[in-house]
Amino acid sequence: MCFFIKQTKCKVVFIVSFILLCCLSVSAQISPMSVIDITSKNKISRIEFSPDGSQILIGGVTTELWDISTGKRLHKFEHPTGEGFNKEISCCVKFSPDGKYLATSFPASAWGWGDTILWDTSTGEIVQTFRIEDDLPYQYVNFPSFFDVENMCFSDDGKRLYTVTHQTILHVWDIDTGEKIKQLNIGGSTPFAIYPDETRCVSGIGVYSLEDGSELMKIDDLLYLKNDSMLMYIKSHVDHGNYQYQVHLLDMNTYEPISSYPVFNEDSYLSDLDISTNGSFLTYNKCILSTKESSKLGSLSTKMVESDVEETFNHIVFSSDEQTIAAISDSKVYIYDISDLTSTAKTGEGLK
């Protein structure tokens, strides 16, 4: 009888412990702190935080600038119309480092080639229009979508704009004059970043010279430039139906390995992937993960109240200070405060 009671108590303790462990291992469910609803007709394609994280730029059928704290629209940037312009949706949006300007790119069409427009953030007026029509190789004239500007970035001093097309043609533009400084053929277009000294760029699957476009290093996975100090990519392989992912860090100058470590296993391929500025955190499939601890910190929900329908994301980005996340679902932008999660890990530890 005593033996039975002891055995029963052991089972109860085990079950309770197991339940508690399961509860603790479930990552936090994070609801949005605000939702920006543009219109049902304006499907959003890209979003970008301002350098200080207080505003968000939303690119879609229209391009709009919103204040995150007040939830109010600050500017609506009217896309040009008329001959030579067919602006159905913006391909890319980007702030200058000081937030003074913003740039938007548009799809190419049979009568308007992938234009990039530079706007004054405070007034909403057009400052420059960068056009690549004169640079079209004759063999691609019937395929204008090859010249959609898929990615771009400003130089650190904000004086030059780098744009890269679907056909991996890189243009360098002078912000003050609007003139083209250089044109190069490189490989890949996304992700895209330039080295601080503007001698090289990371584009898609490799590193390329900004002097002549030559390939300096190539890799089979998407390559990121993180924290202006190292290269980072995520390698995956399938094992018994599960995707296993591993982070690899390389020296940005020598391309030599620094370290690598496993981060997680999933039963499906990653979607909605974004890596924070210094690589400490990443998001995928609505989850937030610490790359240092290889653990899920939380999962994003689109529900403000229990009765809301859960939405899927098309695109997701971190703010530069890693305190906020924004995610697109059709015509809505969901804003999440993740400061409580990220404050538990020291900035940069994920890169060691």
> pLDDT over 90 for what percent of the chain?
27
Bigger pLDDT: 145 vs 200: 200
Over residues 263-295, the pLDDT tens digits come to 666 655 666 677 887 778 888 778 888 776 667
**C-alpha Rg value of the chain to the nearest Å:** 23
In the block, tokens 């303790």 appear at: 13
Residue 133 has pLDDT above 50, yes or no: yes
Note the Cα 189 to chain centre separation in Å: 13
Q: 102: phi > 0 → left, psi -120 to 50 → alpha, else beta; which?
A: beta
Over residues 77-90, the pLDDT tens digits come to 877 665 545 455 66
In the block, tokens 């390995």 appear at: 257
Q: Which of 29, 31, 23, 33 is nearest to 298 (CA)?
A: 29
Over residues 156-189, the pLDDT tens digits come to 999 999 998 877 788 999 999 999 999 988 877 7
CA atoms within 13 Å, Cβ hemisphere of 137: 10
